[in-house]
Every structure is written in C-alpha cells, then in structure tokens.
Amino acid sequence: MHIGLIGLGKMGGNMRTRLRNAGIEVTGFDQNPDVCDVATVEELIAALPSPRTIWVMVPAGKITSSVVADLSDRLDAGDLVIDGGNSRFTEDFKNAELLAAKGIDYIDVGVSGGVWGLENGYGLMVGGSTAQVERLMPVFDALRPEGPREEGFVHVGEVGAGHYAKMVHNGIEYALMQAYAEGFELLEKREDIIRDVPGTFKAWQRGTVVRSWLLELLVRALDEDDDLSEIEGYVEDSGEGRWTIEEAVANAVPVPTISASIFARFVSRQDDSPAMKAVAALRNQFGGHSVKKSDD
C-alpha cells in the first residue's frame, strides 16, 4: 500500500516512521522542506497510485480546511482524503460534502497517543464508509498498538464519528488529569503527614483502582522534578475540551468534572481574576473587609 501524508510534525512525522516500519509506502509533504519526501503537494499527488489515499495530519481549524479545499481541487473522483488531525466533528461534515461534490471520498480519524505513539502505537477512532475503512485496514493496523485490533481501533460510525469519539476521549482526558492533579495538591499540602509524595504515586501503579497510563506519566514527571517546582501551573487547552462542553450543553448532558477541568485551565492562565476582583469588592462593601490593592 502506498499513501500520501500531509503534515510531518510531532504526530505526522512519527506516524510516517511507524507506517514505513510496517511496510506501508509513504510519501510525505510538510511546510518544512527538511522533513519532506517531495517538494510540493502536486508532486505528492503525482507520486501516488490511483485511486489515491492522502492522510492529512495538520493543525485543526483553518489549516486543515485549506488543505482539504486545496485537495478537492487537485484530486480525482475515487480518491480518498483522511483527516487525522484534532478537528471538530462538525468540520467533517463540511469536508466530506466539499469532497463528495468532486466524487472524492472522506474519512475522519481521531488519533490518540501523543509522542508515545511511535513506540506504543496510536489509538484510532474512525468515521466513514465501511468500504473505505476496510480498504484502509493495513494502514490502521500499522498505526494501532500491538494486541487485539479491537483494543486499539474502532470504526465508530459514519463521517464525523471518529472525531466525535476523539472529542469525548479528550474531554475525559481533561477530567482524569484534573483528578490526579487535585490528589497531588492534597498530598503536597500535608507533607507533615505524607513524607513521600512521588513514592505514593509510584506505589499506585500496581494493584490499585487508580492505576492508569496518565498515572505512570505523572510518576515519570515526578521522577524528573519531585515537587514540580520547575514547572509553572499554567495550562493551555487545545479546543477539544471546549467542544465537549458545547456538545454537552447542546445535548443537555451534565458534565461537571469535564467543565471543572477546563475552568481550572482558564484560571491557571489569568494574571488576575476579574471575577475574584468583584468578589473582593463585594466583601469590602458589605463587611468592610480589607482588599488587596493591585500592584499597579
């Protein structure tokens, strides 16, 4: 099998390697010429056997949209475009429609695993037609982890389903991380009692109810920096968590832990909180409680 891969960053680059290791032929293109197999998308298209299969692995949003739009102009009926980025599932409906007008097929794949995927394989959640998914199974089998196929790969439904599943996966991920983080703070706060915080997390890796891959990663982080004093408590979010909340709200699904996780990230990025200024101002008004003056 021979596929094209557009986007050779942290994720795409590793995926190319993993695919090649499994015997899949890959022609890769990226904005960065140092990592490219071909100089242009045109060359990439020319290099592929027909019907062509092109996996797009670029940042979600405008960049993905423009790559898909460009491909819709260049590809032929019968070709297939796969979006493996962290796109919102609603984008898939637009992409599929745009491509279908040219007879080009579309599949969306939610890909999990981060920088560990090269070694461990990637968890794959796929949306699209059964025919195309079956045709692509060698690619999916190359990317997914060792072990039973159904433990690292799922054909979730029609177009959009892969990214919907990935969105929910990431929403869960946010809350899992926050849960361990709250536990970390509870242990840190009572170092009069807990003499070995990293050791406690380490000991949770076997036999306990909370054992998980994220726990193992926290153990690694604490091995490197045992009280995380070198890291600032500042956390970005990349969109999927927000979409999860929007979907939850649109569908009347209560998501208190996922939303709490996102809100904690928002707060972590604020120099000062307008809301808490207002609370401080109110306390001062009714109780004469003193306020801290801003430094400026």
Binders in 78-107 for a copy of itself, by CB under 8 A: 89
Are 113 and 121 in contact by the 8 Å Cβ rule? The answer is yes
109 is a site residue for a copy of itself (CB under 8 A)? no
Nearer CB in complex with a copy of itself: 134/151? 151
225 is a site residue for a copy of itself (CB under 8 A)? yes
139 is a site residue for a copy of itself (CB under 8 A)? no
34 is a site residue for a copy of itself (CB under 8 A)? no
Least distance CB 55 / a copy of itself (angstroms): 17
3-state secondary structure at position 109: strand
176 is a site residue for a copy of itself (CB under 8 A)? yes
**Residue 276: which region, alpha, beta or left (left: phi > 0; alpha: psi -120 to 50)?**
alpha
Nearer CB in complex with a copy of itself: 73/150? 150
144 is a site residue for a copy of itself (CB under 8 A)? yes
Are 197 and 191 in contact by the 8 Å Cβ rule? The answer is yes
Are 106 and 158 in contact by the 8 Å Cβ rule? The answer is no
Binders in 148-167 for a copy of itself, by CB under 8 A: 150-158, 160-161, 164-165
Nearer CB in complex with a copy of itself: 51/59? 59
Instruction: Tokens 């195309």: give the residue.
Output: 132
3-state secondary structure at position 55: strand
Selected binder of a copy of itself within 51, 98, 116, 141 (CB under 8 A): 116
Binders in 195-214 for a copy of itself, by CB under 8 A: 195-196, 199-200, 202-214
Please calculate the CA angle 254-90-265 and round it to the nearest 5 degrees.
50
Selected binder of a copy of itself within 6, 71, 125, 136 (CB under 8 A): 125
Selected binder of a copy of itself within 31, 97, 226, 263 (CB under 8 A): 263
CA atoms of 161 and 255, how far apart (whole Å): 20
275 is a site residue for a copy of itself (CB under 8 A)? yes
Alpha carbon of 45 to those of 36, 59, 72, 77, 255: distances in Å? 14, 20, 12, 13, 44
Selected binder of a copy of itself within 2, 10, 78, 97 (CB under 8 A): 10
Alpha carbon of 188 to those of 178, 182, 195, 208: distances in Å? 15, 10, 9, 20
Are 4 and 53 in contact by the 8 Å Cβ rule? The answer is yes
Candidates 37-45, 59-67, 94-102, 286-294 — which segment interacts with a copy of itself by CB under 8 A?
Answer: 286-294
218 is a site residue for a copy of itself (CB under 8 A)? yes
Establish whether 173 is a catalytic residue: yes
Binders in 233-262 for a copy of itself, by CB under 8 A: 233-236, 242, 244-262
Please calculate the CA angle 72-69-84 and round it to the nearest 5 degrees.
95
Q: Which structure tokens are listed for 108?
A: 């969306």
Establish whether 166 is a catalytic residue: yes
Active site residues: 166, 173
